[in-house]
């Protein structure tokens, strides 16, 4: 394009931003005949200089000179400085376009150029190709031009132009093709359950395994209470092992954050921050804005071990992410919305001395135990779907039974909505979760009177998951009562209410 003697061109690239989210990067160039001068704006000066030096040298080695030209380049879009060397190739392509060379790539196909140049005009082999391809796909690019390794883990080769090993090759019609469509998750549900059946990890009681299935397959948040050595952390690992297989989109998002692991199956993230973690490290922040633990746990499990040891402001800050699965960060003029769709599990001692519920004698009074639990939960009281007290149990539930609960719950969530799968814990329209009869309806109102709407909704969603585990069409009284057994709000306020039957199976 020529405007008033000025040659203009623009190309697109894609890089991770400081927060790890994918970013479209626009590179513009304006060029005219005149005093030789070269500017690159939009990047730190030292970075801009090194890119320009490499690109001009690589172009010269390819036989292309920029003599007698005034060139202004602009890079638009925030990116992580660690990846900015990959802007060499798009900068070179933009310059070539402004010089009148045709734009490489399929006509009409939105193409991202990504690659670092060697001084002789070769495009360096792309590190982390899977991550780059997943990112480009999430941003809606049809193809990526870069120098790819022969095979990319998790990526099938098909029909998009992609391979380019040198600037000369930009104009060659023959390129190897790479598609970004086929990221795969290598873990299948049956294999996870099979492995589980033989693992000593899974030796938990009926109640604990019900909670584990609701937490993993229904995405309900869980606080696990019990004395040291009762298996709280082990249960969190059980829940992680039972997480549903990631779908295609989740695979791409997971791929963005995980270092490439040659040929390995995509596993959901498992984050376990230490209790000394700061608010910024937990939810994100800083300048430029970086992702926190909740975003690192996106599509995976966040475990807070010893919940009572975490700082109050940190727990407070978890309210928004746990509610809305996103976190808003603003710092000065920077604003960012980071995703954090996660499974949440926390563990804690059940009383100040830690022995409540164990064979050892607890020295705390009933009042002190209640107060401790209420204070520990504090800000998260109405964000937890389940509170489970782990007892040493002689009876262990069979994995075949667990598998039935699991499959029932997953299938019900899949069948319930016409527009696709939804975890019960995420459903906003809780009124659609109907009780079997007006008697159960009335009991729900009576028992939950005085609780916040948020807490009521959580109980109802959990009851729906419990009903789903049994394959029930409506929530029956027994499902509601079982859900209530996992809520401390009810335990704390109606301890004396003895109407709840205890299960013997």
Which residue in 61, 196, 265, 353 binds Zn ion (CB under 5 A)?
353
- Residue 38 as a binder of Zn ion (CB under 5 A): the answer is no
- Could you tell me how many residues of this chain bind Zn ion (CB under 5 A)? 5
Q: Between 353 and 477, name the residue whose CB sits nearer to Zn ion.
A: 353
Instruction: Compose the 333-352 pattern: x for residues touching Zn ion by CB under 5 A, - for all others.
Output: ------------------x-
Which residue in 38, 343, 356, 444 binds Zn ion (CB under 5 A)?
356
- Minimum Å gap between C-beta 358 and Zn ion is 9
What region does 69 belong to: left with phi over 0, alpha with psi -120 to 50, or beta? beta
- Residue 364 as a binder of Zn ion (CB under 5 A): the answer is yes
Q: Between 90 and 227, name the residue whose CB sits nearer to Zn ion.
A: 227
Which residue in 9, 251, 362, 425 binds Zn ion (CB under 5 A)?
362
- For residue 98, give every residue at least 6 positions away whose Cβ sits within 8 Å of its Cβ, in sequence order, or none: 7, 8, 9, 29, 30, 31, 71
Closest by CA position to 235, among listed 268, 269, 210: 210
- E-strand stretches of 354-437: 386-389
Hey, which residues between 271 and 330 contact Zn ion (CB under 5 A)? none
Strands of 2-3's sheet in order across: 2-3, 6-16, 22-33, 69-76, 37-41
Q: Between 26 and 370, name the residue whose CB sits nearer to Zn ion.
A: 370
Q: Determine whether 157 is exposed, middle or buried from the number of CB atoms within 10 Å of its CB (0-12, 13-18, 19+).
A: middle
- DSSP string spanning 417-459? -TT----GGG-S-GGGS-BSSHHHHHHHHHHTTTS-HHHHHHH
Q: Between 136 and 351, name the residue whose CB sits nearer to Zn ion.
A: 351
3-state secondary structure (DSSP) of residue 118: coil
CA 148 to chain centre: 26
Angle between helices 438-447 and 477-484 (to 10 degrees): 20
Q: Which stretch binds Zn ion (CB under 5 A): 286-294, 337-345, 354-362, 458-466?
A: 354-362
- Residue 225 as a binder of Zn ion (CB under 5 A): the answer is no
- E-strand stretches of 185-325: 222-225, 270-271, 284-285, 290-291, 301-304
Q: Which stretch binds Zn ion (CB under 5 A): 13-21, 22-30, 355-363, 489-497?
A: 355-363
- Minimum Å gap between C-beta 391 and Zn ion is 15
What does each C-alpha distance from 71 to 34, 99, 231 come to in angstroms? 9, 11, 65
Q: Between 231 and 352, name the residue whose CB sits nearer to Zn ion.
A: 352
Instruction: Compose the 403-442 pattern: x for residues touching Zn ion by CB under 5 A, - for all others.
Output: ----------------------------------------
Q: Between 370 and 422, name the residue whose CB sits nearer to Zn ion.
A: 370
Q: Which stretch binds Zn ion (CB under 5 A): 12-20, 175-183, 210-218, 357-365?
A: 357-365
- Minimum Å gap between C-beta 356 and Zn ion is 4
Give the binding site for Zn ion (CB under 5 A): 351, 353, 356, 362, 364
């Amino acid at each position: 394009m020529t405007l008033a003697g000025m040659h203009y061109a623009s190309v697109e690239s894609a890089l991770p931003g400081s927060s790890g989210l994918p970013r479209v990067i626009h590179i513009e160039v304006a060029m005219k005949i005149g005093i030789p001068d070269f500017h690159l704006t939009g990047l730190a000066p030292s970075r801009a200089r090194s890119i320009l030096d490499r690109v001009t040298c690589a172009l010269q080695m390819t036989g292309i000179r920029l003599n007698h030209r005034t060139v202004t380049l602009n890079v638009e879009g925030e990116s992580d400085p660690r990846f900015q060397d990959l802007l060499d190739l798009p900068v070179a392509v933009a310059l070539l376009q402004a010089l009148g060379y045709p734009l490489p790539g399929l006509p009409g196909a939105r193409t991202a150029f990504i690659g670092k140049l060697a001084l002789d005009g070769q495009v360096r082999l792309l590190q982390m190709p899977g991550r780059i391809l997943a990112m480009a796909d999430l941003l809606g690019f049809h193809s990526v031009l870069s120098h790819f390794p022969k095979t990319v883990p998790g990526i099938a080769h098909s029909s998009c132009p992609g391979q380019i090993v040198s600037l000369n090759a930009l104009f060659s019609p023959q390129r190897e093709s790479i598609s970004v469509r086929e990221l795969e998750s290598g873990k299948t549900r049956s294999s996870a359950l099979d492995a589980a059946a033989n693992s000593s990890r899974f030796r938990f009681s009926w109640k604990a395994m019900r909670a584990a299935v609701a937490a993993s397959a229904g995405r309900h948040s869980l606080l696990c209470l019990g004395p040291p050595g009762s298996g709280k952390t082990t249960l969190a690992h059980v829940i992680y092992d039972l997480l549903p297989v990631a779908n295609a989109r989740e695979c791409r998002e997971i791929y963005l954050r995980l270092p490439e692991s040659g040929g390995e199956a995509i596993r959901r993230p498992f984050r376990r921050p230490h209790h000394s973690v700061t608010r910024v490290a937990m939810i994100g922040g800083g300048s430029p804005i970086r992702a926190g633990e909740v975003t690192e746990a996106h599509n995976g499990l966040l475990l807070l071990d010893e919940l009572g040891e975490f700082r109050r402001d940190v727990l407070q800050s978890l309210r928004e992410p746990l509610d809305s699965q996103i976190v808003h960060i603003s710092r000065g003029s920077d604003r960012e919305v980071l995703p954090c769709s996660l499974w949440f599990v926390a563990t804690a001692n059940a009383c100040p001395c830690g022995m409540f519920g164990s064979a050892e004698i607890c020295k705390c009074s009933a009042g002190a135990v209640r107060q401790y639990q209420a204070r520990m939960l504090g800000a998260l009281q109405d964000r937890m779907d389940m509170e489970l007290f782990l007892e040493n149990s002689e009876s262990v539930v069979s994995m075949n039974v667990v598998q039935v609960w699991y499959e029932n719950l997953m299938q019900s969530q899949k069948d319930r909505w016409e527009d696709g799968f939804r975890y019960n814990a995420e459903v906003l329209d809780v009124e659609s979760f109907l009780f079997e009869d007006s008697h159960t309806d009335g009991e729900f109102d009576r028992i939950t009177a005085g609780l916040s709407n948020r807490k009521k909704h959580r109980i109802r969603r959990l009851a729906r998951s419990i009903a789903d585990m049994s394959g029930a069409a409506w929530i029956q009284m027994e499902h509601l009562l079982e859900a209530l057994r996992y809520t401390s709000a009810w335990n704390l306020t109606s301890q004396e209410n003895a109407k709840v039957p205890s299960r013997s199976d």
